[in-house]
Every structure is written in C-alpha cells, then in structure tokens.
Amino acid sequence: MAETSTTTSFINGYSSIASLATDHLFTILLLLPMDSILSFVMTCKKFRYLATSDILWESVCRRDWGNTAVDALKSSFHDDEQRRLIPWIRLYKQVSRVDSVCCYKLAEPDPDLVLPVPRASHSLNFVSGCLVLFGGGYEGGRDLDDTWAVYIGNNSQNML
C-alpha cells in the first residue's frame, strides 16, 4: 500500500504539483489563505520565484482589498519606474501591519485651494470625524509646524 502511494505522488523524481503549469499553480495560489501562500514559498526555489512574483501579489491585493483600492493605488504611481520601486508583496506586508486599507480617488483640486505640501515624518490622526495632519519635514530638512484638518464626517466609510 505504501509503495502505491509513493509511485502516484512522484513522477520521474518530481512531485505531481511541481509538474503543474505555472498558470495552474498561480490559480491555486489565489485560492489559498495568506499563511498557506507563505508556506508554499518556503518549499522550493521554483515555488519561491512564482509565489513572490509581482503579478501574483497584485492579484492577492485585488482579492483582499478590492479592485477599486488597487486601481487607485496604481493610478497614484507617476511612472513605471516608481511602480517597480514598490513591489506589491512589500505593499501588502506594510498594509497588513496596519491591518486596514481604504483608498479613494480624489477629484482634481481647485487651483485656488491651498493644500498641504508633501512631507515626511508627519502625524496623521482621525479625531471626532476629522482627519488631522500636523508636523513633518519638507525637502531640505525644513520642519513644518503647521496643522491641517478636514472633516470626513460620520457618513463616509471610515477604515482608519
């Protein structure tokens, strides 16, 4: 009995799953929960290459976050170079640490409207229905000691 199971699970020295086409493995991976995908990565080099591909992780992001959120993220990239610098697997890891994601495509700003400048090391908090941004640094190391607040309201989808 043990001999039969050994011969059916190995064909010419390869396990039957290793002989599956890449697109079939890809489809199977998309059906698995996250911990199973990560376990699959650790089995062999071929599977590691497949399971760490950007195409797979973009699809995993679409599965877990929805098409709208992923499309909003993709449209925020200015060019292909910027898209390559942020692999989907790293983005997924960072978002899962925060344990939430919510993306909205914002309308083009009014040219007369004053908006905060891009910044690093800032604080962003959600307080009493308002999104509050303060502090941070700007190019050249200049500190920004300003505070910005926008009312989000209770009718919006708050996933912060």
Instruction: Tell me the domain boundaries of the chain.
Output: 2-98, 106-160
- Across the range 147-158, mean pLDDT stands at 66
Per-residue confidence (pLDDT) for residue 2, from 0 to 100? 46
- Comparing 107 with 62, the larger pLDDT belongs to 62
- Across the range 125-146, mean pLDDT stands at 76
Domain 2-98: assigned CATH number: 1.20.1280
- Across the range 39-66, mean pLDDT stands at 87
**Contact yes or no for 29/50 (Cβ under 8 A):** yes
What DSSP line would sit under 105-147, residue for residue? PPPPPPTTS--PPP-BS-EEEEETTEEEEE--B-GGG-B---E
Mean pLDDT over the full length of the chain: 75
What DSSP line would sit under 19-85, residue for residue? TS-HHHHHHHHHHS-HHHHHHHHTT-HHHHHHHT-HHHHHHHHHHHH-HHHHHHHHHH--SHHHHHH
Task: Tell me the CA end-to-end span of the chain in Å, nearest whole number.
Answer: 56
% of the chain surpassing 90 pLDDT = 2
Is residue 135 over pLDDT 80? Answer: no
- Across the range 13-22, mean pLDDT stands at 75
Is residue 92 over pLDDT 80? Answer: yes
Is residue 159 over pLDDT 50? Answer: no
- Taking the C-alpha atoms of residue 1 and residue 79, their distance in angstroms, rounded to an integer, is 58
- Taking the C-alpha atoms of residue 152 and residue 51, their distance in angstroms, rounded to an integer, is 38
- Across the range 68-84, mean pLDDT stands at 74
